[in-house]
Amino acid sequence: MSAIATRAAQITHRLWRMALYRYAAFRRDLRSHEGWLILLCAPLGAAVGVGVFAVRETVYTLHDINFRLAAGSYLSAQTHIDTLRLALVPAGLGLGFGLLAYFIRKRRSADITDPVEANALFGGRMSMPDSIRLTVATMISNAAGASVGMEAGYTQMGAALFSWIGQYFRLRRDDARIFVTAGAGAAIASAFNAPLAGAFYGFELVLGNYAPRALAPVAIAALAGTLVVRILGGEEPLFAVTIGFHFTPIYYVLFAIIGVGAAGFAILTMRAVTWAEWLLRWAPIWARPAVGGAILTALALFSPQVLGSGHGAIQYQLEHERSFVAIAALLLGKLVASAISLGAGFRGGMFSSSLFLGVLFGGACIAAMSLIAPELANQDIAFMLVGMGAAGAAIIGAPVTMVLLVLEGTGNFPITMGVLVAVVTASTIVRLTFGYSFSTWRFHLRGVPIKSAEDVGWIADLTVGRLMRADPRTVPINTPLMTLRQKVPLGAAAHVFAVDDQGRYRGMVEMATAHDPDLTVAAPGLVAGDLVEGRGYYLLRNENLRVAMKRFETSELEALPVLDSIEDRRVVGYLTEAYALRRYAVELERQRGSGAAEIFPLAPTKNV
């Protein structure tokens, strides 16, 4: 009996080892074969679709409960809401949200990394717990009626899932960035029932380019997410337009004019959020959402459509005619509501809100034009869609996404061409005059030096510790110059580093200066300390190449010592400016996609 048990244990152990081996081989193959990565994006995209559907339905249910809405209706499409609920819900939930966020921030004060920042700075690495926290915060903000979109929560959730899987399988940096892009694209595609727009949202905003290698995984994830949402019952598009559009050439000129106006309006919208933050600084940070909620209540008393993301109000505006005064007033109210919501600390994005603002902007423009040329009123829907695309592209920074969103919603090429004219005009003007989209503007205000999702974080991986030479020549600071000349003949080393009795760095001595014939007469009375330069300039192991280049520029020295720490100031290596520049150029060329660049070894044999 014992022999049988022993044999069974041996077989079990062998099978377990085989399973572990096969699993390790699978993980290795997954990292090495692009096909496996593409296939993996399908189930992950489907999971993102399920998550988006669940979160969206939860928020809609909370809207129904909090504001007593009719089943199936949108908060932003309401024309009347119970006054008592308007008075209690935004401010009350805002207070609870503010207190909750305040206590969480005391325990975890670090900023949450969003998909754009993750791809630009961290090689696609995101925190799953932080992402769940942001998604929940976005849900609470939307449940309170804040004038923000759920897209920030959707993309955070989708990108974090893909990032977590990428980290688990230890994907390469480029593959991890593509995975984050696929997750964000799947989220937007699922949220708007628009796979093309979702995929290009990922390319434009999260990846920062249209890399052919990223096309398959991002597209597969976006399609899978969209199909799952449609199966679950979410086939309703962002807007439905069934009429046809036919334009004479003069209309495209008018669309370009709409684009010019949308550019200015987009810049105003982005700056308005900053102004709102400044105006609310007087309130304690935990009370600002409550103050913002009270202001939202005051605005919603005039029109409840300022509440929520504006997702449902877009269709409402397309189906109802309104006067110039009425639509302009709603445009101003929605702008103030969005700025106050974000400035007060509610969490959310501007994707849906920018679309609704664009519809209102286009509606205001056509209403004003119709006073001069009444025949233009027949194309009011076209001007609203053009305004939506232009304002959305200028604020969000995703022009192709907006064009495809209109194409998928209407299936009409003439209106798509009109939107393209306005989008190109608006996005170009904003890029040349303002230089930021909404997300990169927020990064700028936080002091994060990125203007797109292009990978600039690779430079942080090029630390001084990896680039330095680890064989510095040190001499006591009181070494006689004659002795120094004997120990280090001319040509043996370009420089040596002077240290005190405790081995702490005290300056650098250029050997060309030490062997200067003009010093021959005075040499017997000189010591190394008399020739040192750059006393206060040095590098640390953990500093990156960007810091090193700035230090070289400031010090105007050709080489700098690398110290172990500021406290002990022990010299552990050195780095030359020439090698740092050469390594930076090679890495930059590699990041731009050149396969011809030769990567220099991390431990160079010569550093001159």
SS (H, E, C) 539-605: EECCCEHHHHHHHHHHHCCCEEEEECCCCCCEEEEEEEHHHHHHHHHHHHHHHCCCCCCCCCCCCCC
- Which residues are CB-contacts of 14 (< 8 A; sequence separation ≥ 6)? none
Cβ pair 533, 502 in contact under 8 A: no
> Which residues are paired to 480 by β-bridges?
527
Q: Are 511 and 488 in contact, with CB atoms under 8 Å apart?
A: yes
Q: What is the pLDDT of residue 355?
A: 92
pLDDT of residue 555: 84
Q: Encoding tokens for residue 35?
A: 């096909």
| Cα–Cα dist 216/607, whole Å | 42
Distances (CA, A) of 14 to 8, 9, 10, 18: 10, 9, 6, 6
- What's the confidence (pLDDT) of residue 607? 37
How open is the CA angle 86-88-91, to the nearest 5 degrees?
A: 100
Encoding tokens for residue 138? 């976005």
According to the model, what pLDDT value does residue 529 have? 83
Report the DSSP pairing between strands 505-510 and 539-540.
unpaired
- Residue 22's pLDDT is 65
The CATH number given to 42-68+81-232 is 1.10.3080.10
- Written in H, E and C, the secondary structure of 108-176 is CCCCCCCHHHHHHHCCCCCCHHHHHHHHHHHHHHHHCCCCCECHHHHHHHHHHHHHHHHHHCCCCHHHH
User: With a threshold of 0.85, does the pTM exceed it?
Assistant: no
| Cβ(152)–Cβ(116) below 8 Å | no
Q: What is the pLDDT of residues 298-318, one digit of tens each?
A: 999 988 999 988 888 888 888
Q: Which fold has domain 249-446?
A: Clc chloride channel (1.10.3080)
For 63-117, the pLDDT digits (tens) are 999 998 887 788 888 888 888 988 899 999 999 999 998 888 888 767 788 898 8
Here the tokens at position 368 are: 């004003």
Q: What is the pLDDT of residue 591?
A: 62
The matching CATH number, chosen from 3.20.20.70, 3.90.600.10, 3.40.50.300, 3.10.580.10, for 458-591 is 3.10.580.10
Distance from C-alpha of 305 to C-alpha of 148, rounded to nearest angstrom:
12
What is the distance between the alpha carbons of residues 597 and 586, in angstroms, rounded to a whole number? 6
Q: Which residues of the chain have pLDDT under 70?
A: 1-2, 13, 19-32, 109, 234-237, 449, 453-461, 588-608
Handedness of CA 53, 54, 58, 61 (dihedral sign): positive
Q: Coil, strand, or helix at residue 25? A: helix
| DSSP H/E element including 499 | strand 495-499
Q: How far apart are CA 138 and CA 158, in angstroms?
A: 14
List, for residues 330-345, the tens digit of each pLDDT value.
Answer: 999 999 999 999 999 9
Residue 414 burial class via C-beta count within 10 angstroms: exposed 0-12, middle 13-18, buried 19 and up: middle
pLDDT of 599 = 34
* pLDDT of res. 47: 96
